[in-house]
């Protein structure tokens, strides 16, 4: 780790340091700790995270985040001044002088654009294709237009096909969609019409999936009978053990696949039934919606209360997932605005 601090203090940027570590075949932190999901390459983001981590000078820093709401799992990052910091809790790896020097260089260079611009939807954006958090950054020195992209869509490999999206246009479009959904919820007559329509849709979908489930169960039963018959043929000497294992392998694999499909359908049916029941607190939803609609410019706090995540795909389609199932129901019905799915 000391090498990373030394390289940065010598004028190397995050990307250059990542490249050097790659060339020297130095393990990433996840590889070093032998984690189940290991990152094979160094990234500028991981380099920065190391350079600002006070654990390397022996400090323990806590209370970096605060919950947005008791009901919602999302948290808001606090400012460094709000952290709880306990010094010298363990042996330092990096000298305090070198650490302080690095912090001063980072402060003066202002290298990371995301620390300079607090985008409204920052932390809520995800790539629809790979599931990773999306980035928002400015292109060029003087431009004031932000762009959303996936980190895997850059570089030589381009492991993800998600395209760039103009952030300003995105924010305007998504806020308009959210406002229309909230206004629809506030219109009780329109809301009643939507719920009646959805109730019928859910009943149709549950009936369809239940029929599908019975089909799968029948296929599982037929495959199991074939496996049992082959086993009896093997026991009775009608086929050899080698032939039994060779022929039954495909049937066993098919049965496992069908069992997995059955579990997915059962989960889908349970989800549809939960949506149909809808146990949410109307007062809480109305309070959040009224606060949002009164705001000329919504705050990040209110957005975190309303939205679970927003996803973008390679065709610039937008997928909005709300924290409240009733808003997701409306979202499904207003699919003329954009590609809309419920969580």
Q: Tell me how far apart the alpha carbons of residues 175 and 337 are, in angstroms, rounded to a whole number.
A: 12
* Percent of the chain at pLDDT exceeding 70: 76
In the numeric block, which tokens belong to residue 164?
């760039």
Give me 90's structure tokens.
């363990």
**Helix ranges, 123-239 (H):** 167-186, 188-235
For every residue of 270-326, DSSP letters joined together read HHHHHHHH----HHHHHHHHHHHHH-SS--HHHHHHHEEEEEE-TT--EEEEESSHH
125: enclosing H helix or E strand: strand 125-127
* pLDDT over threshold 70, residue 84: yes
Residue 38 has what pLDDT? 66
Give the C-alpha distances (Å, rounded to integers) separating 322 from 76, 202, 235, 256.
17, 19, 57, 34
Q: How confident is the model at residue 114 (pLDDT cuts 50, 70, 90)?
A: very low
The pLDDT of residue 203: 77
Q: Are 100 and 115 in contact, with CB atoms under 8 Å apart?
A: no
pLDDT in tens, 167-182: 888 999 999 988 888 8
pLDDT of residue 162: 67
Q: Which two tokens stand for residue 23?
A: 């060339």
Q: What is the pLDDT of residue 287?
A: 82
- Three-state SS at 65: strand
| Tens of pLDDT, residues 183-204 | 888 877 766 666 666 666 777 7
- Residue bearing tokens 């026991």: 235
**Percentage of the residues of the chain whose pLDDT score is greater than 90:** 8
Confidence of residue 2 (pLDDT cuts 50, 70, 90): confident
pLDDT tens by residue, 205-228:
888 899 999 999 999 999 999 889
Spatial contact of 1 and 93, defined as CB atoms under 8 Å apart: yes
The residue ranges of every structural domain in the chain are: 1-111, 116-343
Nearest to 118 by CA among 291, 287, 293, 303: 303
Report the pLDDT value the prediction gives residue 212, as an integer from 0 to 100. 92
C-alpha closest to that of 71 among 308, 300, 299: 308
Q: How many CB atoms lie within 10 A of CB 21?
A: 19
Is a pLDDT exceeding 50 seen at residue 111?
A: no
Minimum mean pLDDT range among 74-78, 270-274, 296-300: 74-78
Are the CB atoms for 214 and 246 separated by under 8 Å? no
Write the pLDDT tens digit of every residue in 133-146. 888 877 666 666 78
Q: Which residue has the tokens 């390289």?
A: 7
Give the whole-angstrom CA distance, residue 239 versus residue 203.
49
Predicted model pTM: 0.48
| Tens of pLDDT, residues 24-72 | 888 887 777 777 666 778 888 888 888 888 888 888 887 666 665 545 5
pLDDT at 86 (0 to 100) = 81
* Average pLDDT value for the chain: 79
- For position 222, what pLDDT does the model report? 93
> Are 288 and 185 in contact, with CB atoms under 8 Å apart?
no
What Rg value do the Cα atoms of the chain yield, rounded? 27
pLDDT of residue 275: 66
Calculate the CA 33 to chain-centre distance: 23
Q: Find where tokens 């980072």 sit.
A: 106
**End-to-end Cα spacing for the chain:** 41
pLDDT at 79 over 70: no
pLDDT at 127 over 70: yes
Say what the pLDDT of residue 8 is. Answer: 87
User: Encoding tokens for residue 53?
Assistant: 């981590």
Q: What is the CATH number of domain 1-111?
A: 3.90.1750.20
Tell me which of 81 and 101 has the higher pLDDT: 101
Q: How many residues does the chain have?
A: 343
The model's pLDDT over 241-271, given as tens digits with 9 standing for 90+, comes to: 888 888 888 888 999 999 999 998 998 888 7
d(CA 4, CA 54): 14
């Amino acid at each position: 780790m000391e090498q990373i601090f030394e390289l940065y203090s010598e004028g190397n940027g995050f990307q250059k340091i990542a490249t050097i570590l790659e060339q020297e075949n130095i393990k990433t932190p996840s590889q070093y700790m032998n984690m189940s999901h290991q990152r094979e390459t160094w990234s500028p983001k991981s380099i920065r995270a190391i350079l600002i981590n006070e654990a390397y000078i022996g400090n323990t820093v806590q209370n970096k985040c605060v919950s947005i709401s008791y009901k919602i799992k999302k948290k808001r990052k606090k400012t460094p001044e709000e952290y709880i910091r306990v010094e010298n809790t363990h042996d330092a790896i990096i000298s305090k002088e070198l650490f302080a020097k690095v912090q001063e260089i980072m402060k003066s260079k202002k290298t990371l654009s995301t620390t300079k611009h607090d985008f409204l939807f920052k932390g809520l954006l995800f790539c629809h294709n790979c599931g990773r958090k999306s980035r928002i950054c400015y292109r060029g020195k003087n431009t004031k237009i932000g762009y959303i992209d996936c980190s895997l869509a850059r570089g030589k490999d381009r492991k993800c096909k998600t395209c760039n999206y103009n952030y300003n246009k995105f924010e305007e479009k998504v806020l308009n969609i959210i406002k229309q959904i909230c206004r629809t919820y506030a219109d009780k007559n329109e809301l009643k019409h939507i719920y009646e329509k959805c109730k019928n849709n859910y009943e149709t979908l549950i009936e369809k999936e239940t029929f599908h489930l019975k089909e799968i169960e029948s296929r599982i039963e037929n495959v199991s009978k074939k496996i049992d018959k082959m086993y009896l043929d093997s026991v009775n000497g009608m086929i050899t053990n080698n032939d039994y294992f060779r022929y039954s392998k495909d049937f066993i694999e098919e049965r496992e696949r069908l069992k997995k499909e059955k579990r997915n359908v059962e989960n889908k049916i349970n989800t549809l039934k939960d949506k149909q029941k809808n146990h949410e607190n109307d007062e809480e939803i109305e309070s959040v919606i009224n606060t949002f609609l009164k705001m000329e410019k919504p705050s990040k706090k209110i957005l975190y209360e309303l939205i679970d995540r927003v996803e973008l795909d390679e065709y610039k389609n937008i997928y909005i997932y709300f924290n409240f199932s009733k808003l997701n129901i409306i979202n499904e019905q207003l699919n003329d605005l954009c590609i809309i799915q419920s969580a």
